[in-house]
Structure 1
Amino acid sequence: MILEIEKVKNVWDDVKDILSVPHTDKQYKKLVKVLDELIDEVGNNEKHQLAPLLETVGNLIEEYENDHFIQPNAEPIQVLKFLMQENSLTQKDLNILGSQGVVSEILNEKRELNVRQIKALAEKFNVSPSVFI
């Protein structure tokens, strides 16, 4: 076990910013950017070598959000509908998700959001991608 800790100590300065619970808004925003990059890299590939890191970073972000933000007690599509209502948006305004048919299927819960769509929605509404997962 001591050998494992020594290995971590040798690289800790290089990875501590992405493997520590954020305590400030600045740290949180940096970690959200890391998550976005990991989503781009890993996508839906659960066998990707960085998939465990994606999960860990997502958990660290969730920890911060649970302590600092009111979490909606709703499914991702319900959150999307709420954000649409709050921003006076219609299905046509969500062309970042795909065609009108795709948007309709998503809103009617006949289709799940994919990684690209989650990232686009997070950017559009300036929220963490975890809101849509």
Structure 2
Amino acid sequence: MKIIKPLTTEAEYDAAVARIEEIFEAAPGTPAGDELHILTLLVKEYDEQHYSIGNPDPIEAIKIRMEDLGWKDKDLVPFIGDKATVSKILNRKRPLTLEMVRKLAAALSLPAEVLIKEYALAA
């Protein structure tokens, strides 16, 4: 039985990914399926430690979610205010308020932690 240990080098990471590809269709509950499960957890942990992308800033997060939902700027009016205010927010001319963050978090299914992050306003 091969001992599986945390991934500490890029070579170990590459070997784990190669092994995952070999046993990708292993059935759950089998030795290969168990190995696949553990290796994917180890690769995920390594990715998070070494290749963390992080969350986008609040405005980018809103725009990404709007795109996912097929929303236009006008669809934000109930949560932000009139069209002019929506435009100012999306163009970084005005910051989000706490009330806007609460409404947007619920409407867009975004974590409030993402929306309350500081971000640069346009000059």
TM-score by length of 1: 0.45
TM-score by length of 2: 0.49
When Rg is computed on C-alpha atoms for both structures, the one with the higher figure is: 2
Bigger helix share? 1
